[in-house]
Amino acid sequence: MSSNKVSKSTITDELTQKVISLCQRRAILFANSDIYGSAAGFFDYGPYGVELKKRIENSWWKTFVQSREDIVGIDGSIITSPRVWVASGHVAAFNDPLVDCLKCKSRHRADTLVEDELKISVDGFSLDKLGELIKEHKIVCQKCGGELSVARKFNLMFSTHIGAVADESSIAYLRPETAQLMFADFRIVQQAMRKKLPFGIAQIGKAFRNEIAPRNFVFRCREFSQMEIEFFIHPKLVNSCPLLSKEILEKKVQMITAIEQGKGKDGLMETMTIGDALKNKVIKTQWHGYWLITCLEWLYSLGITPANLRLREHVKTELSHYSVETWDIEYKYPWGWKELQGIANRTDFDLSQHQKESGKDLTYFDEESHERVIPHVIEPSIGVDRVFFTVLLDAYRENASDKGSTSTLALHPELSPVQVAIFPLMKKDGLAEKGRAVFEMLRNEFVCEYDESGSIGKRYARQDEVGTPFCITVDYDSLEKDDVTIRERDSGNQKRVPISKLKEVIECSFGEYCALHGGKK
């Protein structure tokens, strides 16, 4: 069993190491069942982590499902009929390139090995090309220096068996993406909800991939959660999106096209409006353009720095078997620009495949043209854990002082695991009772934590580390004047506020933050 400790050794940059160490120290997110030396690629969220993770999921669900009339949600099963994965192409084509060490028998992902050793991007390189590079540059096993086998395909699906008999006929798979159920359930959901095209089906749930080389903490792990939308569109109207307002068309984004990457100019970005990108056919269809900007805007609303996000088009050889055009939203990670979200044009591939495999009619009757069509699909797909980690990397700040250095997570207040912390200056003289009364008053409105141990400085530092935006101190003046000191995390500013006005003041500060940085308040 490979260990999480081994995969951490691949992390060389300081920021990533600091964020991982903060996650472990404060039990935010850590290796699964570590007391047994956990398998690589499995993680557990602790009390602060689960709070932040749920907030990310809730924000996504609110934005893309509850606030829209054209998207409905489902929550499907993790194990489904294996025929789903035959139809989707995952049994045949969900592979990564693998090489074996002929000496120590360890296995490596060929593309990441080449990237690590040659410091180049190999997005879209074929199995043969990777094999050639390994041979040409005499790349050897990273563990023992042994010679490597030829590169071959490795299927990433975890398999299991249904029922008491484990044979070929009972084989089943843990889903490698949540997407397929939105296709398999398309008909029942569309009819029951009386949805007309265009409309989407969304889902948040677990996905499993037996990654050859899980790495960079939860960036690439083996069990993770996805938030996916399959947005169904009349096949003749993929390039006609009524939601593309003038405001959206004028939004500028950083992007790198397939053509630029084809010229070998990896990293040459342009800043373009979505309108120009569509006019010049850089982005081929209007609905794709709409979803790219809509997904970017949601990431901005989480407080992620816009300059650290860009769009990158997949080069032809990199496209998944189901896609005719894919754009990734990439984040500038300490280890380079990498995929945070994928937004693919899956055409009618999946519905057609499921119609063929199941023999069931998955067409849609278009009342205007009186014809039956198989809808086309734009699919925004993003991993919860990857968003989680990205948010932490983007929000991590270090505060140096003569007493040493402490850290702060400058999280959007809507995401912070604790929104308000309440400290009595001392436990005695009625201060603890007053502090508890403030805590009880606020805890129905915000996620609050009461802390009476250690110096006030230490208590501030503890809350800064987990990104608490507001800390309230109850002191001797509070007993007389019925007011408290409220301290704002990012500026360190403190002001006295009457207890009766606390809720209003905190809500107002939330609003000010959102006005400045984006968000929902």
Q: Is 173 an interacting residue with respect to ligand GAP (CB under 6 A)? A: no
Other C-beta atoms lying within 10 Å of the C-beta of residue 90: 22
Q: Indicate which single residue of 90, 209, 412, 434 sits in contact with ligand GAP (rule: CB under 6 A).
A: 209
Q: Indicate which single residue of 341, 347, 416, 419 sits in contact with ligand GAP (rule: CB under 6 A).
A: 341
> Are the beta carbons of 429 and 371 closer than 8 angstroms?
no
Q: Is 338 an interacting residue with respect to ligand GAP (CB under 6 A)? A: no
Q: Indicate which single residue of 177, 313, 325, 330 sits in contact with ligand GAP (rule: CB under 6 A).
A: 177
Where is 218: in which H helix or E strand? none
Binding map of ligand GAP across residues 479-498, x = CB under 6 A, - = no contact = --------------------
Q: Which stretch binds ligand GAP (CB under 6 A): 44-52, 285-293, 294-302, 380-388?
A: 380-388
Q: Which stretch binds ligand GAP (CB under 6 A): 67-75, 248-256, 335-343, 352-360?
A: 335-343
Q: Is 339 an interacting residue with respect to ligand GAP (CB under 6 A)? A: yes
Q: Indicate which single residue of 310, 314, 386, 434 sits in contact with ligand GAP (rule: CB under 6 A).
A: 386
3-state helix, strand and coil shares in percent for the chain, rounded to the nearest 5: 35, 25, 35
Half-sphere exposure (Cβ direction) of 451: Cα atoms closer than 13 Å: 20
Q: Indicate which single residue of 43, 45, 85, 224 sits in contact with ligand GAP (rule: CB under 6 A).
A: 224
Round to whole Å and give the CA distance between 6 and 142.
12
Could you list the beta-strand ranges (E) of 215-370: 223-233, 252-256, 270-273, 309-313, 325-333, 336-347, 364-366
- In whole angstroms, the minimum distance from the beta carbon of 389 to ligand GAP comes to 9
Q: Which residue is nearest to ligand GAP (CB)?
A: 383
Q: Is 100 an interacting residue with respect to ligand GAP (CB under 6 A)? A: no
Q: Which stretch binds ligand GAP (CB under 6 A): 77-85, 383-391, 402-410, 493-501?
A: 383-391
CA angle 83, 87, 93 (to 5 degrees): 110
Strands 152-155, 420-424: parallel, antiparallel or unpaired by DSSP? Answer: unpaired
Q: Is 38 an interacting residue with respect to ligand GAP (CB under 6 A)? A: no
Size of the site for ligand GAP (CB under 6 A): 19
- In whole angstroms, the minimum distance from the beta carbon of 304 to ligand GAP comes to 13
- In whole angstroms, the minimum distance from the beta carbon of 90 to ligand GAP comes to 10
Which residue pairs, CB below 8 angstroms and at least 24 apart, start in 369-374?
373/234, 373/235, 373/236, 374/235, 374/348
Other C-beta atoms lying within 10 Å of the C-beta of residue 441: 15
> Are the beta carbons of 511 and 521 closer than 8 angstroms?
yes
Residues that bind ligand GAP (CB under 6 A): 177, 179, 209, 211, 220-221, 224, 226, 228, 339-342, 379, 381-383, 385-386
